Amino acid sequence: MVSKSQIKLITSLAQKKYRQQNALFVVEGIKGIREFLDSSYVLHSLYALEGVFEDQDTTEVSPAELKKISFLKTPQKALALFEIPKQRLEIKSGFQLVLDEVRDPGNLGTLIRLCDWYGIEHLICSEQTVDCFNPKVVQATMGSLTRVNLVYTDLETYLSKQKLPVYGAFMDGENVYRSQLPEEAILVLGNEANGVSAAVSEKIQQKISIPQFGSSTTESLNVAIAGAILVSEFKRG
């Protein structure tokens, strides 16, 4: 049984403001919840249909109750609240991906999965980048969020302090297939519509680009697709 105040709390977490106020976010689905339970994330509360999570302290809910608290069109069998951890600012050396105002939750989720696949531990985001605890991002990451450390910070200040070479994805950059790429570097990807902002561009030493093989009328590649191809170029060795 889920109380009115619990429903109010959970549904409020669709908004960043309330996620930050409560330091809580929502994970839906058994598989996703298991991945967060098996990680360093701290469980706050768990709502599940009868018999679904027998090894956990669960608030049992009916399918109708689950529908009320779920953010999904087709609710899963369980929904959990986890605590938002404090930002871990210590960045180890290695390859880093930096996002300058990526706004689409699906794109951020896909890029988090990409980092996880390629063993990129740190994803640095501008403060205007979509919140990684947005329910759509959490759902799109498929648990990868438990293995990638996201830091939201001012990119100009951050990039000024870095010693690694800073690359950025631009439409008019050097052909990435002909560039000599170092193993350790920082790669900056920009906003879906506007690319890398002018202020952040000033911190970039090398502009790179995926050459266009097709007709010149093709607008651009999606930021997650471009990010995947560029990360692959750095990592393929």
Which residues sit at the interface with a second copy, rule CB under 8 A?
35, 106, 110, 113-120, 142-144, 147, 177, 210, 212-215, 217-219, 221-222, 224-225, 228-229, 232-233, 235-237
Of 133, 43, 48, 134, the C-alpha closest to 81 is: 43
H/E element holding 65? helix 63-69
The set of residues, in sequence order, having a beta carbon less than 8 Å from that of 191 and lying 6+ positions away, is 100, 101, 102, 103, 197, 223
Strand bridging mode 78-83 / 149-152: unpaired
1 or 193: CB nearest a second copy: 193
What's the closest the beta carbon of residue 221 comes to a second copy, in angstroms?
A: 5
Shorter beta-carbon distance to a second copy: residue 101 or 116: 116
* C-alpha to C-alpha distance for 203 and 210, rounded to whole angstroms: 20
Judged by CB, which is closer to a second copy: 87, or 220? 220
Strands 186-189 and 96-99: parallel
Nearer to a second copy among residue 24 and residue 140 (C-beta): 140
Residue 154 CB, nearest approach to a second copy (Å): 27
CA of residue 193 relative to chain centroid, distance: 18
Q: How far apart are CA 117 and CA 224, in angstroms?
A: 14
Structure-token pair, residue 80: 């959990």
* Least spacing, CB of residue 51 vs a second copy, in Å: 25
Residue among 85 and 119 whose Cβ is closer to a second copy: 119
Q: How far is the CB of 102 from a second copy (least distance, A)?
A: 15
Q: How far is the CB of 171 from a second copy (least distance, A)?
A: 12
User: Shortest Cβ distance from residue 148 to a second copy (Å)?
Assistant: 9
Q: How far is the CB of 61 from a second copy (least distance, A)?
A: 27
Residue 187 and residue 169 in contact, taking contact as beta carbons nearer than 8 Å: yes
Instruction: Kindly tell me which of 79 and 224 has the beta carbon lying closer to a second copy.
Output: 224
Q: 5 or 218: whose CB is closer to a second copy? A: 218
H or E element in which residue 97 lies: strand 96-99
**Residues 197, 157: Cα–Cα separation, whole Å:** 14
Residues 99, 195 contacting (CB under 8 angstroms): no
